[in-house]
Structure 1
Amino acid sequence: MPFRGAHYAIAVFLVVTIAAFWPSYFSILDTAPRAHHIHGVTATLWVLLLIWQSWSIRQPNFALHKWGGRMSFLLAPPFVAGGLLVTKMTVIKDSPFTEMFAVSLSFADFVSVAVFVLFYFLALRNRHSVEHHSRYMLATIFPLIPPSVARIFTGYVPGVAIRAPEDLPNFEVALNISFVVAALFTIALIISDWRRKKPLAPFLMALGALVLMIGVYHSYGNTAHWEQTVLAYARFSDAVLILAGLVIGVAAGFLGWHFPRKPAGPAPASVAA
Structure 2
Amino acid sequence: MKPFPKLHLWLLIPFGFTLLGFRSYWTGFSEAPLRWHLHGISATAWYIILIVQPWLYHHRPIQIHRKVGMLGLLLAGFVTASALGVIRGNLTQPEQSPLFKVRYSLSLLDFIFIAGFLLSVAAAVWNAKNTQVHARWMISTVFWVLSPATTRLSFLPLGMIYQPKEFSDFPFLWVDVLAWNQVLVFLIVAFLMIQDYRKEKKIYLSFALVAIVQLSCIWVVFALKDAKWLITLFNHLFEL
TM normalised by structure 2 equals 0.90
Identity of aligned residues (%): 23
Provide the secondary structure at the position in 1 that maps to 2:31.
Answer: coil
- 1:222 equivalent to 2:223? Answer no
Aligned residue type for 1:21:
F
Tell me which residue corresponds to 2:91: 91
1:182 counterpart = 2:185:
yes
Spell out the pairing of 1:103-252 with structure 2 (5 A cutoff).
103-157=104-158, 158-159=160-161, 164-167=166-169, 169-197=172-200, 198-235=202-239
1:79 match:
79
Q: 1:61 maps to what in 2? A: 61
Counterpart secondary structure, 2:128: coil
TM-score in terms of structure 1 length: 0.79
Distance 1:89 1:53 in 2: 32
Distance in 1, Cα, partners of 2:3 & 2:104: 36
Deviations 1:146-184 (A, max 9, x none): 111111111333346765232464422321111111000
- Which sits farther off after the overlay, 68-77 or 156-165? 156-165
Structure 1: tracts of 5 or more residues without a match: 237-273
Q: Which has the higher contact order (CA 8 A, sep 6+)?
A: 1
1:43 lines up with 2:47 in the alignment = no
Separation (CA, whole Å) in 1 of partners of 2:76 and 2:216: 23
Q: CA deviation at 1:2?
A: 5.9
Whole-angstrom CA distance in 2 between matches of 1:186 and 1:235: 36
Structure 2 unaligned regions, length at least 5: none
Q: CA offset at residue 199 of structure 1?
A: 4.9
Q: Distance in 1 between matches of 2:228 and 2:39?
A: 28
1 CA distance for matches of 2:75 and 2:3? 22
Which shifted more, 194-203 or 144-153? 194-203
Greater helix content = 2
Q: Secondary structure, in 3 states, of the residue corresponding to 1:222?
A: coil
Letter in 2 for 1:233: L
Aligned to 2:145, the other structure's residue is in SS state helix
- Offset at residue 35 of structure 1 (A): 1.2
Partner residue of 1:9?
Answer: 10
Q: CA deviation at 1:77?
A: 1.5
8 Å Cα contact 1:160/1:173 also seen in 2: no
Residues in 2 aligned to 1:100 and 1:155: alpha-carbon distance in whole angstroms: 22
Distance 1:160 1:146 in 2: 22
Q: Do residues 52 (structure 1) and 52 (structure 2) align?
A: yes
The residue type equivalent to 2:218 in the other structure is I
Distance 1:201 1:12, change over 3 A: same
User: How well do the aligned residues superpose, as a CA RMSD in angstroms?
Assistant: 2.0
Query: Is 1:20–1:151's contact at 8 Å kept on the other side of the alignment?
Result: yes
What does the per-residue CA deviation read over 1:190-232, in whole Å, with 9 as the maximum and x for residues that have no partner? 1011111145211001112212322211212432211221222
Runs of 4+ in 1 over 6 A off after TM superposition: none
Change in CA separation of 1:219 and 1:2 when aligned onto 2, cut-off 3 Å: farther
Structure 2 Cα separation of the partners of residues 147 and 124 of structure 1: 25
